[in-house]
């Protein structure tokens, strides 16, 4: 594929396989290496747009992207919203906290209401696994899963892969530790699939109580200690630890978890000079990641945030803009619209 940002501006972006994601992006499961690489390559073009003084192109003008969030989120929602605006799509937002859901409106009714605003694509976050999939069965709009319970969070995995690839060229042969509450993490699940599909070796690190029951089916190894691994890791990916895990009896205390598995200043000092530190955010400073580790030059946490916008532009463009629909106006649109 020879995608350039200029092509995207003109609406003539050549994508080798525009249907690479299919109609929806519900998970990393089902996407092969070629599909992931296609998205990452396309992301390069959108990252270039993001570096311009006015980072906006008309590629999705006239299309409407709805964020439909039944769970709190700041960065994921802002990231999708920014991506949609940079592509000149209109945006509408639904947030469960401030909606009629509290008055008993059902999920399906809500989706119908959002659809009646003319949304072409729904970005869905919900605490229950499988919800994005269910919604995809009810609507003509494209659906992007922005996190469904403990199941998947595919755009997070794509932005993490993009960040690793940006720093290291490729994931092939990288040894990556995913540390913490793997069992309840949609980020871990999507990343295991994506990292391994792109040729990395993944080791899951945490107490046995925070490992998924069926880890045998995943192409990973498991370790219950972080210290012996530190010097051999190319990247360490910390997961957010939630306090509920104490009341559920899965960890004795936050302090003990931090002592055993947190990326403390001392552990950070033992990482290789070229190791990378990642976290999906929001972090719990002093729990899974110390302030020193987060601020270390090897931390790419802010790169992850910036890359999230570019990756989501690529996803929105693939699902809405590349030959699937009246992608770009017939009238000539040159340069930047604001
Ligand atoms: C993750 C999520 O919500 O799944 N965060 C995010 O998308 N930025 C990780 C988390 O909250 O633990």
- Residue ranges per structural domain of the chain: 5-152+306-321, 154-303
Mean pLDDT of 17-36: 94
Ligand 1 centre from 309 Cα, in Å?
15
Closest atom of ligand 1 relative to the 125 alpha carbon: 3
- Tens digits of residue pLDDT in 236-281: 999 999 888 888 888 999 999 999 999 999 999 999 999 999 999 9
73 or 315, which is more confident: 315
Mean pLDDT score across all residues of the chain: 90
Q: Strands (DSSP E) along 224-271, which ranges?
A: 235-238
User: Structurally, what CATH architecture does the domain formed by 154-303 represent?
Assistant: 3-Layer(aba) Sandwich (3.40)
Q: What's the pLDDT at 263?
A: 98
Residues with CB under 6 Å of ligand 1 are 75-76, 147, 153, 156, 186-187, 240, 280-281
In angstroms, what is the span from residue 7 Cα to ligand 1's centroid? 33
Residues 39-54 have pLDDT tens digits of: 999 999 999 999 999 9
* CA of 12 relative to ligand 1 center, distance in Å: 34
Q: Which atom of ligand 1 is nearest to the CA of 186?
A: 4
CATH fold for domain 5-152+306-321: Rossmann fold (3.40.50)
Look at the chain and count its residues. 338
pTM as predicted: 0.91
Q: Looking at residue 237, what is its pLDDT?
A: 98
Place of tokens 């691994």: 229
Q: What are the pLDDT digits (tens) for 192-232?
A: 999 999 999 999 999 999 999 887 778 899 999 999 999 99
Q: Which bin fits 34, alpha (ψ -120 to 50), beta or left (φ > 0)?
A: alpha
For residue 189, the CA-to-ligand 1 centroid distance in Å is: 12
Distance of CA 169 to the CA centre of its chain: 19
How far apart are the C-alpha atoms of 9 and 23, rounded to whole Å?
23
For position 213, what pLDDT does the model report?
84
Cβ count near 72 (within 10 Å): 12
Q: Measured from the CA of 156, which atom of ligand 1 is nearest? A: 7
Q: What percent of the chain is predicted at pLDDT more than 90? A: 78
What is the DSSP code (8-state) at residue 163?
Answer: H
Atom of ligand 1 nearest to the CA of 281: 8
Most confident of 33-37, 210-214, 324-328: 33-37
Contact between residue 80 and residue 312 where contact means Cβ atoms under 8 Å apart = yes
Say what percent of the chain tops pLDDT 70: 88
Distance 6 CA to ligand 1 centre (A): 33
Domains 5-152+306-321 and 154-303 share a fold: yes
């Amino acid at each position: 594929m020879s995608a350039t940002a200029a092509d995207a501006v003109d609406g003539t972006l050549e994508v080798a396989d525009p249907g690479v994601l299919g109609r929806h992006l519900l998970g990393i499961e089902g996407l092969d290496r070629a599909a992931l690489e296609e998205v990452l390559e396309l992301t390069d073009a959108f990252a270039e747009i993001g570096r311009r003084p006015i980072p906006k192109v008309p590629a999705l003008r006239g299309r409407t992207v709805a964020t439909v969030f039944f769970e709190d989120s700041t960065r994921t929602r802002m990231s999708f919203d920014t991506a949609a605006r940079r592509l000149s799509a209109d945006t509408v937002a639904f947030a469960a906290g401030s909606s009629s859901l509290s008055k008993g409106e059902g999920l399906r009714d809500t989706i119908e209401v959002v659809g009646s605003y003319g949304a072409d694509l729904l970005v869905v976050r919900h605490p229950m696994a499988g919800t994005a999939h269910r919604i995809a069965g009810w609507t003509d709009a494209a659906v992007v899963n922005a996190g469904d319970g403990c199941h998947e969070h595919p755009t997070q995995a794509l932005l993490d892969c993009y960040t690793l690839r940006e720093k290291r060229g490729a994931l092939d042969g990288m040894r990556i530790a995913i540390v913490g509450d793997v069992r309840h993490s949609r980020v871990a699940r999507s990343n295991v699939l994506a990292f391994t599909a792109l040729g990395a070796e993944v080791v899951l690190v945490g107490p046995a109580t925070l490992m998924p029951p069926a880890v045998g089916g995943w192409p990973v190894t498991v370790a219950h200690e972080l210290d012996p691994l530190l010097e051999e890791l190319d990247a360490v990916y910390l997961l957010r630890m939630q306090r509920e895990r104490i009341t559920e009896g899965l960890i004795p205390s936050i302090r003990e978890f931090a002592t055993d598995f947190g990326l403390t200043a001392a552990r950070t000092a033992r990482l290789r000079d070229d190791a990378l530190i990642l976290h999906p955010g929001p972090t719990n400073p002093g729990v899974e990641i110390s302030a020193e580790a987060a601020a270390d030059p090897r931390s790419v946490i802010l790169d992850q945030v910036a890359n999230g916008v570019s990756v989501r532009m690529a996803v929105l463009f693939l699902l809405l803009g590349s030959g699937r629909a009246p992608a770009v106006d017939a009238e000539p649109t040159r340069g930047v619209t604001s």
